[in-house]
């Protein structure tokens, strides 16, 4: 999708996002754009990851680099990824179109499910991790490669952003420490939508939308994606709650030998 197509479809995107809690845009990044992102991602993993703080790099198996699972704050560590997020970038414009108001970039994450070791992403709402008032944010999930259900595609509960925050508890999953405790009520089951997709496809979801992904059972393929997070500019962040949560998590992961 070009920047001008994005501008032309702003209202439609906002209406759809309001109604379903997400939008799904095949080909948001064209093949050349996604190839450039993939090449820079490889460079980033090779050159930047070794210099990153251990609290921002998760491996399914810390002793096996092939099991790299998640990275945080890529935009802060590298100008290429910083430019993907900056004001007026396509992602920033999409975030603004979805929420219908001014946004601020917060994080760029890498999400992989290695074929060697892979765990499901538990059903959760991103807003649980964000500590925002109002809880208004959007995550854009960017497929770096084609993703089938066997590789662990993203699934949503359509319309779930309208019912507020569900109770979360420890999931035991590295990188997604919290999951919805009572997931599977009739509304969850009746409104599930799965999104197998092709490289360059972008899914943008509201901070209250329930989503999850299965483990990668493909046997030989990775499942690589980026997640770009924007908060509505007017949100207040409870910095002390965020910092306390992060400190607790880092200490738990450290004592369990995960980081
Ligand atoms: O990549 C995944 O498995 C899930 C990503 C996710 O939860 C998110 O983008 O908010």
Domain ranges of the chain: 3-255
Ligand 1 atom with the shortest distance to the CA of 126: 10
Q: pLDDT tens digit string along 192-243?
A: 999 999 999 999 999 999 999 999 999 999 999 999 999 999 999 999 988 9
- pLDDT of 222 reads 97
Distance from Cα 227 to the centre of ligand 1, integer Å: 7
User: What is the whole-number distance in angstroms between the Cα of residue 109 and the centre of ligand 1?
Assistant: 9
What is the architecture, at CATH level 2, of domain 3-255? Sandwich (2.60)
Confidence of residue 175 (pLDDT cuts 50, 70, 90): confident
Segment 130-135 mean pLDDT: 95
179 beta partners: 169
pLDDT for res 112: 97
Q: How many residues does the chain have?
A: 259
Q: What is the mean pLDDT of residues 92-99?
A: 97
Nearest CA to ligand 1 atom 1: 111
- In testing the pocket of ligand 1, which one of 23, 72, 111 has its CB within 8 Å of the most ligand atoms? 111
Tell me the whole-structure pTM to 2 decimals.
Answer: 0.95
Report the separation in Å between the CA atom of 31 and the middle of ligand 1, taken as the mean of its atom positions. Answer: 22
In Å, what is the CA distance from 103 to each residue of 21, 52, 93, 95, 133? 17, 27, 9, 7, 14
The per-residue pLDDT for 1 is: 81
Q: Read off the pLDDT band of 164 (50, 70, 90).
A: very high
Centre of ligand 1 from the C-alpha of residue 8, in Å: 28
pLDDT of residue 6: 78
Query: What is the percent of the chain with per-residue pLDDT over 90, rounded to a whole number?
Result: 83
DSSP-derived letter for residue 112 is -
Whether pLDDT at 3 is above 80: no
Instruction: Of 107, 250, 128, 213, give the one whose Cα is nearest residue 178.
Output: 128
CB of 212 shorter than 6 A to ligand 1: no
Please work out whether the CB of residue 213 comes within 6 Å of at least one atom of ligand 1: yes
């Amino acid at each position: 999708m070009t920047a001008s197509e994005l501008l032309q479809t702003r209202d439609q995107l906002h209406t759809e996002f309001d109604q379903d809690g997400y939008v799904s845009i095949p080909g948001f990044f064209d093949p050349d754009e996604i190839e450039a992102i993939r090449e820079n991602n490889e460079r980033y993993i090779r050159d930047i990851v070794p210099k990153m703080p251990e609290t921002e790099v998760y491996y399914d198996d810390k002793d096996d680099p092939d099991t790299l699972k998640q990275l945080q704050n890529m935009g802060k560590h590298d100008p290429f990824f910083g430019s993907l997020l900056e004001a007026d970038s396509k992602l920033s414009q999409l975030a603004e179109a979805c929420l219908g108001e001014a946004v601020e970039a917060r994080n760029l994450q890498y999400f992989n499910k290695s074929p060697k070791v892979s765990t499901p992403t538990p059903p959760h709402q991103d807003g649980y991790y964000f500590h925002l008032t109002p809880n208004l944010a959007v995550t854009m999930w960017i497929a770096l490669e084609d993703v089938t259900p066997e590789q662990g595609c993203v699934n949503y509960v359509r319309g779930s952003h309208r019912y507020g925050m569900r109770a979360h508890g420890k999931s035991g999953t590295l990188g997604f420490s919290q999951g919805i405790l009572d997931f599977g009520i009739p509304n969850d089951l009746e409104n599930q939508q799965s999104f197998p997709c092709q490289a360059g496809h972008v899914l943008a979801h509201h901070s209250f939308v329930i989503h999850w992904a299965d483990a990668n059972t493909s046997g030989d393929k990775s499942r690589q994606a980026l997640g770009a997070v924007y908060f509505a500019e007017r949100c207040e962040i409870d910095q002390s709650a965020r910092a306390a949560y992060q400190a607790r998590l880092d200490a738990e992961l450290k004592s369990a030998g995960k980081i």
